[in-house]
Amino acid sequence: ILNVEQSPQSLHVQEGDSTNFTCSFPSSNFYALHWYRWETAKSPEALFVMTLNGDEKKKGRISATLNTKEGYSYLYIKGSQPEDSATYLCAFNWRGGATNKLIFGTGTLLAVQP
């Protein structure tokens, strides 16, 4: 069974704090790793797609890294703002499975206090 795990489940930080979360996935047959941001009452919004070991992607204050050999990805948020409050989901594609079928983790819920 292919499993994607995210930690922590939830995180409460103060405005201005930097934070990071982890996504763990099976390291064999890796194809791609996606990060999504999901605000309450909205739909998931794509942040990054990473395919190569060592990939680093950045969008504003948010960045992500990928280690396919050990099966993990980190998402970093620098100087958290209240508008960063959301659930951050990672999702995994693997070779040998259906093309573009994503296996989602259960997410990390981030709450940023002003």
Partner 1 sequence: DSGVTQTPKHLITATGQRVTLRCSPRSGDLSVYWYQQSLDQGLQFLIQYYNGEERAKGNILERFSAQQFPDLHSELNLSSLELGDSALYFCASSEGTNPSYEQYFGPGTRLTVT
Binding site for partner 1 (CB under 8 A): 31-32, 34, 36, 42-46, 49, 51, 89, 91, 93, 97-107
Q: What is the number of residues in the chain? A: 114
List the one residue out of 106, 113, 114 whose CA is nearest residue 21: 106
Query: In whole angstroms, how close is the CB of 15 to partner 1 at the nearest point?
Result: 27
Cβ distance to partner 1 smaller for residue 32 or 75: 32
Q: How far is the CB of 109 from partner 1 (least distance, A)?
A: 12
Q: Return the number of the residue (14 or 100) whose C-beta is nearest partner 1.
A: 100
Nearer to partner 1, 19 or 48 (CB): 48
Supply φ then ψ for residue 82, to 5 degrees: -55, -35
- Nearest distance from C-beta of residue 69 to partner 1, angstroms: 18
Query: Are 79 and 18 contacting, i.e. CB atoms less than 8 angstroms apart?
Result: yes
**Least Å from the CB of residue 93 to partner 1:** 4
Q: Write the CB contacts of 23 (distance below 8 Å, at least 6 apart in sequence).
A: 4, 5, 6, 33, 35, 72, 73, 74, 75, 90, 92, 105
